[in-house]
Chains A and B, each alone.
Chain A
Amino acid sequence: MARYLVERTFLDGLHIPMNREGEKVCLGVVDRNAEVGVTWVHSYVSEDKTKTFCVYDGPDPEAIRRAASASALPIDAITRVTVLDPYFYQ
């Protein structure tokens, strides 16, 4: 299982309400991801909510794309990443 950073642009801004509806939207994405073996770890959202940087675990880039299209999410770039721990050397 590899880790990927997926950059996305939401021209109209990303609006997920902090309520049950928002939870359903997020869990819906999680369920659809699971169908292609992809796990959404978490995301960073820009202040104006037009860009997100999402961390995913998945088998390969194609699975990341399938998961995105199943939830109608846009993709700007997929980068394979590994963790760098700044305190590792202490």
Chain B
Amino acid sequence: MQAATALGPRVSFSVVGLIEREAQLGELRSWLDEGAAGQGRLVFVGGEAGAGKSALMGAFCQSLRVGVPVFLGACEPLSAPRPLGPLADIAPRLDGEIVSRMQQGDRNGVFTACLGALTASPTPKVMIIEDAHWADESTLDLLQYLSRRIGSAAVLLVVTYRDDVARSEPISVLLGDLASVPVVRRLAVPPLSPTAVAELSIDTDLDPVRLHAETKGNAFFVTEILRHGSHGTPASVADAVLARVHRLQPTVREAIEVAAVIGPKVEPAIACGVANIGPPELDECVAKGFLLSEGPVLVFRHEIARRAILDSLPPGRRAQLHARVVRVLRDFGTEPDFLARLAEHAEEAGDVEAVLEFAPAAGDAAARLGSHREAAFQYGRALRFATRLATPERADLLQKRAKECGLIDQGEEAMDAWDEAIRLWEGLGDQVRVGDGWRQLVRTYINSGQRADAERAANRAVEILEPLGPGPELAWAYAEQCGLAMLAEDSAAYTWGEKARALAENYGPPGALTRVLHCIGVMRAREGDPDGEELMRRALEISLEAGLHEQSAIIYHNLAYVAWTRLELETAVLRYQQALQFCHDRDIDSYVLSVQASLAEICFWAGDWERAVDLCKPLLAGDRVSKIGAMVVLARIRARRRDPEVWSLLDEARESAVRADELQWTALVAAARAEAHWLNRDTHLVAGEVREPFELALARKSPWHIGELGWWLWRVGELDDPPDAAAHPFALQMAGDWEAAASEWTEHGFRYEAAMALLDSPHVKDLRSAVETFDRLGAVAAREFAGQRLRQLGAVVPRGPRRSTRSNPAGLTAREVEVLGMIERGFTDTEIAKVLFISTRTVNHHVSSILTKLGVGSRTEAAKLAGHATSQSSR
């Protein structure tokens, strides 16, 4: 049924693919070598549309020696992609187990089976996923999953994506997540150089300079224009394609139009069922270069061409063809893979009944596989056509959509869907569901940082459900109230907790019970009560047992949080990583971002700013409450480095914190703003930022916030009595014991804070040590303060770190520098291979990469240049 092909869609063996790609092929081969040696690699190959990524893959596959199996799957530009589409392409050839797991909708089973098939034998395997910017969530999760498990397997996993669109696609989050995963490598497919374009146009009448200017070196445009034989701007590529279509015989033209409607991948049987065409017409499409034959299916050579053909069809004709595709396709099967396609064609055909038949089914299938984005999209699609559905059915669809949207960070869509579902239940007089709907809205509001709305929803839920008497829904409503109070560090959590617990133990929704136990646990742990963590672990046990994944993720997250409240950074990092792993394994995407924001904050405190930045970046795109944390961390790092764009972040963060209206956010933002003012020497603005949240922190007895905010007040001379309840190192600092404070900070791993404490020391030695720490962290701003203190003491300020300027201007990797050093000493490739324990072929790749980077033609020249560089840097 599926294309299980050695080479996938859009692979074209045009001559372009073989030009100027030696370096990339070399890299790929050396990574395959590493894979073969049991160091699995996941390579992301990025380039603009038409850069020649597929051609590169084709050339790479062709160059492989016989016996290296290649598995190729591609993602497609459906508005709701097929769940695990690329794996569906590959699975039949890779392992039958995967196919059956997919049919059962057993996500974890699919992942495990796929990993098992890839790692089963020591024979190296190549798996290629093309066009991952169109990937569905489950495919991205699969990559995430594999990336953490192929480290010691003989696997090369290659993922191509369009880097010109990736920023706005879910893959950007994955790229951010995997930034620091050791098996990951990146490879860029840049546009062709003027020389390459000139070489390609050598036998034509085209002006190579103009051709390069018009195409900016885009391999697809170059190929198309060369094929077309005359100049044209990239915009006219569509015309070029259509001109070729118009030259076809009418039946062949119909065939290519039908194929364009079917999609990037065309099953001949479906095409022949849709119109009065047969294999000869399709063969002609292949002969004319529109389609490629890939095993049992045909694929478009270029997606851009397919779009051009599709767009040129009159709307009526297009709808008619889509309707025929639905008719033919439904006989082919109703597996998840086909359901998504059926729903898409049904919508394009404007066939309401078919949409309502296939879209909800496709949504259910996607949800089962954990592709929440696709599920939400399919339910949304169904709802657009749902006017003729009965009210309960519509309410049911709305609830499904609301839940899926909530899981994928589409807060507003989730709220709208809940609102409408609640209205429908009100109309039906179903008060229990109305109350429960309000309760479910609470989390959505909290995740979007809308505290006031969350409280309103929680109160509505209690108001509606209380008169109806005790029951599981009321237990949940109380539990959610308890959670709200816990987040606000409000002791009302205990009262709500008691009520919820009594009901939950009687009426038994395990979710409500774990929520209460865990919230009370957090409250207690925050107060330093060791029973708190005990309670949280019990909650976790219950929730794991009941398979409540989102609950469990939240508890994991908070277990890390309570370690942080004890300033145990290492434990916190370990637990956050555990929480992340749990989320990844269970596909709780929406929660991954929250955990990442927390982890970023810990990395920030631990002085690992690069990692903190990596973790923060993907969060800025969303609109979740945890974005506040990411903005604050990034702004503080920028302020400490004296980098620009601090206040745009801090202003937005303050706005969001006001809306979220919880101490955890307002205090976080206030401390960051105080610090930024202080580093800017705007001392007079510090107190105004922190006073109000400081008072609230005192009322809520929150040690860290009392400490940090109090310390800023103390620092600028606006605090007379250091508060007792402050976190210990801050308390020591405010008591004037900078020495003990510094050593306590160091002990906990807060490098920057330790150096800040030393600023209060009267000893040159301490201030020098502070300067050293600031230099190591790149904390330019605080270093100025330390320098100033040293000058006040009449001491010499150490010079800044002497950076290794241009010692390695060619950007060689550490390995390449090593190899270059050996070339300089006259080693042969074989000798280098022996010394470095790598294959001669790998040495070859390194050498050719060194020559390219240094821009020299021979090893002798490279050695000479290396000697030159060494003598220069030692001067």
Contacts and interface: CB of A to CB of B under 8 A. Distances in A.
Nearest to B642: A77
B645 interface: yes
A21 interface: yes
Interface in B53-103: none
Contact of A61 (B644, B803, B804, B854): B644
A88 B159 CA distance: 47
Given A31-B190, A73-B805, A78-B644, A24 B855 contact: yes
A16 B806 CA distance: 10
A62 B804 contact: no
B809 A28 contact: yes
B808 interface: yes
B551 to A, nearest CB: 35
A48 interface: no
Contact of B643 (A12, A25, A34, A61): A61
A78 B643 contact: yes
Given A12-B875, A35-B188, A80 B805 contact: no
A34 B46 CA distance: 11
A11 to B, nearest CB: 7
Interface in A39-67: 60-62, 65
Contacts of B643: 61-62, 65, 78
B613 interface: yes
B854 A32 contact: no
B194 to A, nearest CB: 13
B806 A10 contact: yes
B810 A25 contact: yes
Interface string B859-875: 00000010000000001
A32 B813 CA distance: 12
Contact of A12 (B638, B805, B810): B805
Interface in B780-818: 802-811
A31 B811 CA distance: 10
B803 A74 contact: yes
Nearest to B854: A24
Contacts of A71: 809, 811
B175 to A, nearest CB: 12
Given A12-B875, A34-B188, A35-B186, A80 B644 contact: yes
A15 to B, nearest CB: 8
Contacts of A11: 802, 805
B807 A72 contact: yes
Nearest to B614: A62
Contacts of A79: 644
Contacts of B855: 20-21, 23-24, 28
Contacts of A65: 641, 643
Given A11-B802, A61-B638, A73-B806, A28 B645 contact: no
Interface in B188-208: 188, 190
Contacts of A31: 190, 811
Contact of A60 (B645, B802, B853, B854): B645
Contacts of A77: 642
Size category of the binding interface on chain B:
20 to 34
A79 to B, nearest CB: 6
Nearest to A22: B855
A62 B636 CA distance: 13
A10 B854 CA distance: 21
With most chain A CB atoms within 10 A of its CB, the pick from B190, B634, B810 is: B810
A25 B642 contact: no
Interface in B606-625: 613, 617
Nearest to A10: B805
B853 A28 contact: yes
Given A20-B855, A28-B853, A62-B613, A72 B190 contact: no
With most chain B CB atoms within 10 A of its CB, the pick from A24, A61, A73 is: A61
B811 A32 contact: yes
A72 B186 contact: no
B430 to A, nearest CB: 49
Contacts of A35: 186, 188
Interface string A77-89: 1111000000000
A4 B805 contact: no
A56 to B, nearest CB: 12
A80 B808 CA distance: 27
Nearest to B809: A25
A65 B645 CA distance: 14
Contacts of B645: 2, 60-61, 80
Contacts of A14: 806
Contacts of B875: 12
A8 B116 CA distance: 51
Nearest to B163: A37
Given A60-B645, A79-B644, A24 B810 contact: yes
Nearest to B872: A12
A25 to B, nearest CB: 5
Contacts of A74: 803, 805
Interface string B619-663: 000000000000000100010011111000000000000000000
B805 to A, nearest CB: 5
A31 B113 CA distance: 39
A72 B808 CA distance: 7
A28 B810 contact: yes
A31 B188 CA distance: 10
Contacts of A21: 855, 865
With most chain B CB atoms within 10 A of its CB, the pick from A4, A14, A29, A78 is: A78
B634 to A, nearest CB: 8
A72 B806 contact: yes
Nearest to A32: B811
A9 to B, nearest CB: 9
A62 B854 CA distance: 27
Contacts of A2: 645
Contact of A72 (B188, B642, B809, B854): B809
A4 B806 contact: no
B789 to A, nearest CB: 22
Contacts of B188: 34-35
Nearest to A70: B811
A30 B654 CA distance: 37
Nearest to B643: A61
Contacts of A73: 805-806
Interface in B806-837: 806-811
Nearest to A35: B188
Contacts of B642: 77-78
A34 B190 contact: yes
A12 B869 CA distance: 13
A71 B804 CA distance: 10
Nearest to B807: A72
B802 A72 contact: no
Nearest to B855: A24
Interface string B718-747: 000000000000000000000000000000
A11 B872 CA distance: 13
A29 B810 CA distance: 8
A28 B811 contact: yes
A70 B813 CA distance: 10
A77 B780 CA distance: 9
13 contacts: A20-B855, A24-B854, A28-B810, A34-B188, A61-B638, A61-B641, A65-B643, A70-B811, A71-B811, A72-B807, A72-B809, A74-B803, A78-B642
Given A24-B853, A35-B188, A78-B644, 13 more contacts: A12-B805, A25-B809, A28-B811, A29-B809, A34-B188, A34-B190, A61-B641, A65-B643, A71-B811, A72-B803, A72-B805, A77-B642, A79-B644
Interface of A: 2, 4, 10-12, 14, 20-21, 23-25, 28-29, 31-32, 34-35, 60-62, 65, 70-74, 77-80
What 10 pairs across the A-B complex have the smallest Cβ distances? A24-B855, A80-B644, A61-B643, A74-B803, A32-B811, A62-B613, A72-B808, A25-B809, A78-B643, A74-B805
